Amino acid sequence: MSRSTMVAAMLALVMTLGAGAAVAQEQSAWDYISLLNPEGERAWEIQFAAVRSLVKMGDEAVGPLMAVLNHQSSDVRTHAALALGRIGAEEAVDGLIGLLQDPVDAVRGTAAEALGNIGDDRALGVLLVMLARENDATLRAAEVALGVMKAQTAVQPLIGLLQSENWEVRWRGAMALGQIGDRAAIAPLSALGEDENVVVVGCAAWALGALAGEGDFAALAENLDAEEMADVWGSAWAIGVIGGDGAVATLADALTSENETARSAARMVLAWLGTDQAVAALAAAPVEDEHAEGDGDGDDDHEHADGDGDGEDGHGHAEGDGDGEG
């Protein structure tokens, strides 16, 4: 199959593939890896669809993905790390730890989040060290990773980070504390109800709900109708990074919002999530005349879900800078 045909197939996959649909078995992992570094305004759609296909392949894709962790293209390194994390490839832990020294923010962040998804204790110490990095993408991704790992040893450092001057650090810290579930976080999370940033307030509300037994997306969902683009993108990425059926349902509702930014952000984050439920929501949504190109801030949207509001970085680390990418 030619590259142009593969690209067309990937676009069709991300736009129309229904939940539970199988990956085309005639394609190899290398075919999909070749699509991790596309060009053009719809590049993120191709990349996320290729990652989804690689994840569906499971163990068969692990070897080829590990082989490109040192690829010259940062897009390839980033999305390979994203896929390995979602596959849960324990054999990739050492290679992913090595990527924490990568010169590119998106690669470092995605690698950190991937380590969290894999959940191997070998990564715990290095992720805790990353919490001491000031305003670094790896710090924000380490917060996300440690939350996914439910790392009790991270509770006090995360509580300290709730006082950060960086709102992207504060919302990720709040989210991670909600995921870990230590009640020592209740008082500091409650104090964030007065935070100046609405994304932080929404994540704190979700975390307090999670500590009480069920996270509540209501405040973050309300932010999707905000006037400020950063608030919309940041909240969409935060919802996506938290994940789960409730997150998908919230983002699916935003696909029919009157707010164009909300629709664009929801579309990108759902594509980044790449679950059967997320893809089904995209397939059922009204067709837009134009597709979201990024986070809205010009950041590397598809690489890490920072939740920053930039729009694409979703593939690996939740940064949440407000640009739409995460």
Q: Comparing 308 with 107, which gets the higher pLDDT?
A: 107
| Contact present, 303 and 75 (Cβ < 8 Å) | yes
pLDDT band at 6 (very low <50, low <70, confident <90, very high): low
Cβ neighbours for 94, distance < 8 A, ≥ 6 positions apart: 122
CATH code that applies to domain 3-324: 1.25.10.10
Q: Could you tell me the residue ranges of all domains in the chain?
A: 3-324
Amino acid at 10: M
d(CA 227, CA 30): 42
d(CA 258, CA 10): 28
Q: What's the Rg (C-alpha) of the chain?
A: 18
Distance of alpha carbon 96 from the chain centroid: 16
* Statement: residue 254 has pLDDT above 50: yes
Strands (E), the chain: 309-310, 323-324
How far are the Cα atoms of 104, 162, 196, 228 from residue 156, in angstroms, in the given order?
28, 10, 23, 32
What six digits make up the tokens of 214? 């069920």
Entry field: residues in the chain:
326
User: Worst-scoring range by mean pLDDT, 25-39, 64-78, 203-217?
Assistant: 25-39
Beta pairing class for 309-310 and 323-324: parallel
Note the pLDDT tens digit of each residue in 172-186.
Answer: 999 999 999 999 999
Quote the pLDDT of residue 82: 98
pLDDT band at 18 (very low <50, low <70, confident <90, very high): very low
Cα–Cα nearest to 305, from 257, 251, 259: 251
